[in-house]
Amino acid sequence: MRWLVIIMLLISGEAFSQQFPWKDYKLNAQGDTLNRIDIINRKQGPWVVRNESARGEPGYEEEGWYVHNRKDGEWRLFSLQGDLVGVEFYKWGLKDSVCKYYSKHGEIRLEQRWKAVNPDKLYDTLQIEDPDKFDTYRTVIVKNEGASLRHGLWKYYDPETGAVAKTENYVLGELQKEKRQAPATAKKEIEKPKEVQDFERKNAGKKKIKVRDGSTGN
C-alpha cells in the first residue's frame, strides 16, 4: 500500500509539472506567458525587461528570448515612450553580429559589430577573414575572457546630417590602425596631340628648329 501511495504521488507530481512547467512567469494582455523561470531557476523563452532611468541615463525596455538563462537571437530595445532605440543580437548570452542603435525619431546613430566566444570553453577557435585578401580566412585561437569581442567595422553617425562621421575597425577586440595611403603621384602630364609628338620625334637632337608661325617678314 505504501508503494502505491508513492507511485500515485509521483504520477500526480509529473502531471502537475506538465500542466504548470514554470516555477514563475507573467501573463501579457493576450494571455501569453512571459518572463518564465523553470524549476531550476533558469530564464526561458520570451522576456520583457523594464530598466528605469538611473544616474542621468534614460530608462528603456528590452524584449527578446532566453535559452537556459542566456540571451539568444534578436533583442529589441525601446524607450519608455515606446520608440525603438536599438536592435541587438546575442549568442550564448553574449553580443554577436551587428547591433544598431537609433534616435527616438528612427535615425541610426551607431552601428557595432561583435563576436561572441563560447563561454563553455576555456579557448575557442574562430575563423576570421584576412583583411588583405578577399574571401580568405585564417584560424585564430582565442582565450575566453567571458565577454564579447569587438569585431568588424563600427560606424558612428552624425546626428544632424545622418552621414557616417567616424569609423573604427576591430579584429577580435583589437582596434586596427588606419592604413596609410600611398603618397600621391605627380600630376600626369596632359597628353600631347599626335602631330606635336610626331614633330618632336622628327626634330629630336637638333640644336635649332625652324618653325613656320604664319608671320610675314619685312
> Quick check: is 165 in a domain?
yes
pLDDT value at residue 66: 98
pLDDT value at residue 200: 64
> Quick check: is 28 in a domain?
yes
> Quick check: is 9 in a domain?
no
Whether pLDDT at 193 is above 90: no
Give the global pTM.
0.69
Q: What secondary structure does DSSP assign to 106-119, as a single string?
A: S-EEEEEEEE---T
Radius of gyration over every alpha carbon of the chain, rounded to an integer in angstroms: 34
| Domains in the chain, number | 1
Domain that holds residue 93: 16-178
Nearest-angstrom CA–CA distance, 172 and 186 = 39
If you search the block for the grid coordinates 539568444, which residue do you land on? 72
Residue 2: count other Cβ atoms within 10 Å of its Cβ.
6
Local confidence band at 17 (pLDDT 50, 70, 90 cut-offs): very low
> Quick check: is 64 in a domain?
yes
pLDDT value at residue 209: 44
> Quick check: is 187 in a domain?
no
Tens of pLDDT, residues 124-138 = 888 887 766 777 888
Whether pLDDT at 76 is above 90: yes
Contact 110, 122 (CB under 8 A): no
CA distance to 47, 126, 188, per residue, from 156 (Å)? 29, 27, 36
Segment among 14-23, 100-109, 206-215 with least mean pLDDT: 206-215
Contact 157, 110 (CB under 8 A): yes
